[in-house]
Amino acid sequence: MDAQMLQEVAERRKALMNMMGHGAMAIVPAAEQLLRNRDTEFRYRQDSDFFYLSGFAEPESVLCLIPGRPEGEYVLFCRPRDREMEIWNGYRAGLAGAVECYGADQAFLVTELDERLPELMAQCDRLYYALGQRPLFDRRVIGWLNTLRSRSRSGARAPVELLMLEHYLHDLRLFKSPEELKRMRRAAAISVKAHERVMRYCRPGMYEYELEAELMHEFLRSGCQAPAYNSIVGGGERGCILHYVENRHQLQEGELVLVDAGAEFECYAADITRTFPVGRRFTGEQRALYEIVLQAQLEAIAGVLPDRHWNDPHDRAVKVITQGLLEVGLLSGTLDGLLEQQAYKPFFMHRTGHWLGMDVHDVGDYRVDQVWRVLEPGMVLTVEPGLYIAADAPVDARWRGIGIRIEDDVLVLRSGHEVLTQGAPKQIADIEALRQEGA
């Protein structure tokens, strides 16, 4: 971990500990290593909360924060150095590394948790822990609490309050620091290149997985370990399946293909969708619907401003989409009446965006005190309206089987916003130019 990041994770722990105050303890376990089949494991990805507070990527670790503890506020439990295991599976920081390279005040072996955790907990009245997220670890936490209770006759005390850690931690994660934005910009730039690559590469007759392979090529060669989520490559009517990840079908001339894919760079996500013709040009109907979605997206992005409500971009998108559907004859009535009835919903059934950060659907509340949250500088959200005319929709046949989504990642600035994924072409002329180029 570089010095800047080391300092920043220390500041994050400080900010959380300031919220917690003295007499409190937070416990955050690392992600579990999951078996894929027999003795093969899924590629390990650290838990986002754990990584946010530690920058430590190893499994079998537990982070404890105890503000004001004289022997040290930050205690990290981790695996020991082990020559044999390191020959087979790779390097470990060990106890010395946890202190020297990761800034822990104290480090203990993870095998000593059952012995040491109750002792640390006994010094605290309030326990901050995200109960319900990791059932196996929950049982251990309850076990440590019971250990302390059983020792009460000899004067031991157990925490008397349990607080949901995520409520405090996730509000911190919602506001991205310069170091986080550096990584988000990298993830965005790599994802832009990947989308450009498939836009050039696609030909009628190819299979959806061939496009997925091109995305992966760009992600991995740029230093990402994985996509931020399973890539969606849906040709024709499969573009109407919101989370289509099968990616097994052949792409046909005359169809659109919807590609929703983003890279994860050092635990930070990008999330981009582009929709383009499998052949060289959009058909008339595709063009008409694409223009509506693009207009809705641009309007929604224009609404990403500090002091606006979270829902403003969605309301703007819904208005443009309803107006557009009215103009092409897919809806009939008055604009106000159709908005009132939410008549767009059979064709646009999801919301216009979500928070983005370490997790693609990132943490943070969308409402505070029953009202939509106000956008503030440092927040990052996606803007992703779409139109999906199912193959069996009760509309004129020429519209059926068209699925379109356009998605960008937007950072709220003090004076406006920045579209992190601006580089990925989305104007029809630019897309068609790229499609000609590759042919």
Active-site residues, by number, are: 39, 243, 260, 271, 350, 354, 361, 384, 388, 405, 407
Q: Which residue, 166 or 409, is less far from ligand GLY as judged by CB?
A: 409
Considering CB under 6 A, how many residues would be counted as binding ligand GLY? 7
Is residue 384 part of the contact set for ligand GLY (CB under 6 A)?
Answer: yes
Pairing of the two strands 371-372 and 367-368: antiparallel
Q: Which residue, 255 or 408, is less far from ligand GLY as judged by CB?
A: 408
Q: Which does 229 bind (CB under 5 to 8 A by kind): Mn ion, ligand GLY, none?
A: ligand GLY
Q: Residue 258 CB, nearest distance to Mn ion (Å)?
A: 10
Quick one: which of 31, 80, 23 has its CA closest to 56?
A: 31
Q: Residue 291 CB, nearest distance to Mn ion (Å)?
A: 21
Q: Which residue, 312 or 407, is less far from ligand GLY as judged by CB?
A: 407
Q: What is the DSSP string of 343-393?
A: TTTTT--S-S--B-SSSSS--S-SEETTEEPBP-TT-EEEE--EEEE-TT-
Under 8 Å between Cβ of 274 and 259: yes
Q: Give the Cβ contact number of residue 380 at 10 Å.
A: 28
Q: What is the DSSP string of 28-97?
A: EEPPPP-EEETTEEPPP---HHHHHHH----SS-EEEE-TT-TT-SEEEEEPPP-HHHHHHH----HHHH
Q: Which does 249 bind (CB under 5 to 8 A by kind): ligand GLY, Mn ion, none?
A: none
With a CB cutoff of 8 Å and minimum separation 6, the contacts of 167 are none
Query: Can you tell me which of 106, 322, 382, 421 binds Mn ion, judged by CB under 5 A?
Result: 382
User: Site map for Mn ion, 256-295, x if CB under 5 A?
Assistant: ----x----------x-x----------------------
Q: Residue 397 CB, nearest distance to ligand GLY (Å)?
A: 29
Q: Residue 67 CB, nearest distance to ligand GLY (Å)?
A: 36
Q: Residue 297 CB, nearest distance to Mn ion (Å)?
A: 12
Tokens of 311: 């829902």
Is residue 229 part of the contact set for ligand GLY (CB under 6 A)?
Answer: yes
Name which of residues 341 to 360 contact ligand GLY (CB under 6 A). Answer: 354, 360
Rounded CA gap, 279 and 236, in Å? 12
User: Site map for ligand GLY, 35-74, x if CB under 6 A?
Assistant: ----------------------------------------
Rounded CA gap, 271 and 225, in Å? 16
How far is CA 68 from each of CA 71, 72, 130, rounded to the nearest angstrom?
A: 9, 8, 21
Residue at token pair 């979605």: 293
Closest residue to ligand GLY: CB criterion? 260
Residues that bind ligand GLY (CB under 6 A): 229, 260, 271, 354, 360, 384, 407
